[in-house]
């Protein structure tokens, strides 16, 4: 496979202070793109990632973002427009979860439901909406949404999380239509990535180990697996509207 050259491109990666987003940011910067990497609260993690990418010869600009807030999203996109004048890649990676067992319907409060749906589904839509003019401008843009196999089969940290990711999978198809032919829109449905904050909030270490053992390949996803699939999407101009599971093979997540 030919090497991916993103020199001159600008990539917005949300949630880069988290486990998967940081690795995605490293890969995209390593391919030559200038990365605009967002964090919500973890300013220290973000600063150390920016420094690390800079020391490796890449470019990474850290920006604070609360994607529940439309104002925060428009302010971020305005910074990108003014500072870089272009945007080629949007990676909708940021998300939030909390563990609520599916059977405990009463524990899934309106506040939890709203926070999850606002962060994981409305946020990616508002980001795509705000970024669309920049992404379309040069005719070769990409949106990659980071979803979950919980959006394909009814598993995950809560019903609200699973539904937010099912919505994100369909948003991928809808945006592929809306942004064609200038922007390809695709999605990665991740399986469990052990030892991330999100995985730790969803289940304890033994349950994570059991989930890994239950996959067909005996492995969950790693941040590197997710980043590699993302680069594969960025290489292609003939794939759009697709969701691919990167999960070690979870039978219920096969379509």
Q: Is the peptide bond before 181 cis (omega within 30 degrees of 0)?
A: yes
- Least Å distance, CB 14 to ligand NAP, is 6
Binding flag, residue 21, ligand NAP (CB under 6 A): yes
Residues 143 and 185 sit within 8 Å (Cβ to Cβ)? yes
Beta bridge partners of 245: 189
Binding flag, residue 243, ligand NAP (CB under 6 A): no
Residues 151-210 contacting ligand NAP, CB under 6 A: 190, 192-193, 196-199
- From CA 39, how far away is CA 46, in angstroms rounded? 6
39 belongs to the catalytic site: no
Binding flag, residue 58, ligand NAP (CB under 6 A): no
Binding flag, residue 27, ligand NAP (CB under 6 A): no
Cβ neighbourhood burial of 8 (10 Å; 0-12, 13-18, 19+): exposed
- Least Å distance, CB 67 to ligand NAP, is 4
- Least Å distance, CB 165 to ligand NAP, is 7
Per the residue annotation, which of 161, 187, 220, 233 is the catalytic one? 161
The label of the residue with tokens 């990659």 reads 144
- From CA 134, how far away is CA 85, in angstroms rounded? 8
The residue (of 31 and 37) whose beta carbon lies closer to ligand NAP is 37
CA 222 to mean position of chain CA atoms: 14
CA trace torsion 111, 115, 118, 120 (10° rounding):
-140
The residue (of 94 and 185) whose beta carbon lies closer to ligand NAP is 94
Chain contacts with ligand NAP (rule: CB under 6 A): 14-15, 17-21, 39-42, 65-68, 93-96, 119, 146, 148, 190, 192-193, 196-199
Give the active site residues. 161
């Amino acid at each position: 496979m030919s090497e991916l050259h993103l020199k001159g491109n600008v990539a917005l990666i949300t949630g880069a202070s988290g486990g998967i987003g940081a690795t995605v940011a490293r890969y995209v910067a390593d391919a030559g793109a200038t990365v605009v990497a967002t964090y919500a609260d973890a300013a220290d993690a973000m600063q150390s990632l920016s420094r690390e990418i800079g020391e490796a010869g890449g470019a990474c600009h850290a920006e604070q973002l609360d994607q529940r807030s439309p104002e925060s999203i428009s302010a971020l996109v305005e910074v990108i427009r003014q500072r870089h004048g272009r945007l080629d890649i949007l990676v909708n990676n940021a998300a939030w979860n909390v563990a609520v067992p599916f059977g405990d319907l009463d524990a899934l409060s309106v506040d939890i439901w709203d926070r999850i749906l606002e962060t994981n589904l409305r946020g990616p839509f508002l980001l795509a909406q705000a970024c669309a003019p920049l992404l379309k401008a040069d005719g070769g843009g990409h949106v990659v949404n980071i979803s979950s196999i919980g959006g394909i089969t009814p598993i995950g940290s809560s019903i609200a999380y699973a539904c937010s990711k099912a919505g994100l999978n369909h948003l991928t198809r809808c945006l592929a239509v809306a942004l064609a032919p200038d922007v390809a829109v695709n999605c990665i449905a991740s399986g469990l990535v052990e030892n991330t904050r999100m995985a730790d909030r969803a289940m304890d270490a033994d349950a994570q180990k059991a989930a890994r053992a239950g996959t067909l390949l005996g492995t969950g996803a790693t941040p590197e697996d997710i980043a590699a699939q993302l680069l594969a999407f960025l290489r292609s101009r003939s794939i759009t509207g697709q969701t691919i599971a990167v999960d070690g093979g979870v039978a219920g997540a096969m379509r």
